[in-house]
Amino acid sequence: MTPVITRSSELRRQVADWRAEGRRVALVPTMGNLHAGHLALVERAAGLAERVVVSVFVNPTQFDDPADFERYPRTLEADRERLAAAPCDLVFAPTPAGLYPFGQAAAVRIEVPGLSEGLCGAWRPGHFAGVATVVCRLLNVCQPDLAVFGEKDLQQLRVIERLVADLQMPVDIVGAPTVREADGLAMSSRNTYLSKDERQRAAGLYRTLCRLRDAIAAGEPDLKGLETTGKDWLAAEGFVPEYVEIRRWRDLGPPEGDDDLVVLAAARLGKARLIDNLRVRGKRKDER
Ligand code: PAF
């Protein structure tokens, strides 16, 4: 089984030893409950570094709903088993007190204004401050050469890129493509909240994004109208939509005049809150 370290000081020592031997070290931060999407992040990390650390920590500061935090699956032993077959050298599983030594209420917090607002930020107050705060801590404790995050959580990825750029942290942030089930549903730990019937309908989110992507790529100029239509399509498939938005891929800015876009959506299906996005690259400007 892959060794587990819980103490920050031990992790830092191990990473320093590896780096002194000239090895590149990658960190893959997770909240556990690992699935094939996480394993793809680990593979990506192993393609870029000689040593891979996977952190498993259900971070309390990023949950806007305490009930959501309580019920979030904690599956460390199963996660270790999954990682045993993956190119992972070490699991870092800190305790809350280990990562927040002065307690959560007194914790230094990191805010990333602008990028944290809107999209999921509008529906989950404080969420991205919690993510930025814990990722900053994980990067500080581990001191990897690079860290890998999934593009499914695109706003999170952009927030972390900005955090690292603004604080001039010496680490490369790498985005990895979304891994999907056979019917297109993006892999997510939250998919386990879906009933059998909901699971069958859940790929409607991906199908909606595909329809929107195709409409944009075909030159539809009314992007605001498409966002409204997208929400209607989701509602018709039994989702409770939160948002459907078309933004610029590189920085999630407004889409005007760009031809590298992304359609992002969040919607509830039963107890699950699902998010997904699809990049739209193409010749929009030429086609209009
Ligand atoms: O994407 C996640 O699983 C979490 O938000 C992260 C990046 C591990 C921070 O807790």
Cα 9 from Cα 53, distance rounded (Å) = 14
- Alpha helices by DSSP H, listed for the chain, are 8-20, 36-48, 66-71, 76-84, 96-99, 120-123, 127-142, 154-166, 196-202, 204-217, 223-236, 284-287
218 Cα: distance to centroid of ligand 1 (angstroms): 35
Q: Report pLDDT digits (tens) over 89-101.
A: 999 999 999 999 9
Strands 240-248 and 51-56: unpaired
Sign of the Cα torsion 217, 221, 227, 233 reads negative
Cα 81 from Cα 71, distance rounded (Å) = 22
For helices 204-217 and 223-236, give the axis angle rounded to 10 degrees: 160
Question: In which residue are the tokens 């009930």 written?
Answer: 67
Report the predicted TM-score, pTM, of the whole model to 2 decimal places.
Answer: 0.96
201 Cα: distance to centroid of ligand 1 (angstroms): 26
Q: What percent of the chain has pLDDT over 90?
A: 95
**Residues contacting ligand 1 via CB (< 6 Å):** 29-31, 59, 62, 131, 134-135, 153, 156
Tokens of 174: 């790498």
Q: Own/partner pairs for 196-200, CB < 8 Å, 24+ apart? A: 198/269, 198/270, 198/272
Q: Report pLDDT digits (tens) over 209-218.
A: 999 999 999 9
93 Cα: distance to centroid of ligand 1 (angstroms): 13
Question: In which residue are the tokens 């959506």 written?
Answer: 265
Tokens of 113: 């204004």
Domains, the chain: 4-176 (3.40.50.620), 189-281 (3.30.1300.10)
Residue located nearest, by CA, to atom 3 of ligand 1: 30
Q: Report pLDDT digits (tens) over 160-205.
A: 999 999 999 999 999 999 999 999 999 999 999 999 999 999 999 9
Q: Report pLDDT digits (tens) over 100-149.
A: 999 999 999 999 999 999 999 999 999 999 999 999 999 999 999 999 99
pLDDT of residue 288: 34
In DSSP terms, 149 is beta-bridged to 175
Strands 240-248 and 90-92: unpaired
Q: Report pLDDT digits (tens) over 268-282.
A: 999 999 999 999 986
Average pLDDT over residues 10-34: 98
Probe target for ligand 1 pocket from 27, 58, 59, with the most ligand atoms within 8 Å of CB: 59
Contact in structure between 159 and 132 (CB atoms under 8 Å):
yes
Q: What percent of the chain has pLDDT over 70?
A: 98
Cα 23 from Cα 157, distance rounded (Å) = 25
Tokens of 6: 């819980």
Distance between the two ends of the chain, CA-based, in angstroms?
56
Q: How many CB atoms lie within 10 A of CB 5?
A: 19
134 Cα: distance to centroid of ligand 1 (angstroms): 8
Structure letter (DSSP) for residue 186: B
Strands 172-176 and 146-150: parallel
Residue located nearest, by CA, to atom 1 of ligand 1: 30
Average pLDDT over residues 6-13: 98
pLDDT of residue 256: 81
Q: Report pLDDT digits (tens) over 216-262.
A: 999 999 999 999 999 999 999 999 999 999 999 999 999 988 789 99
Cα 213 from Cα 264, distance rounded (Å) = 10
Q: Which atom of ligand 1 is nearest to the CA of 30?
A: 8
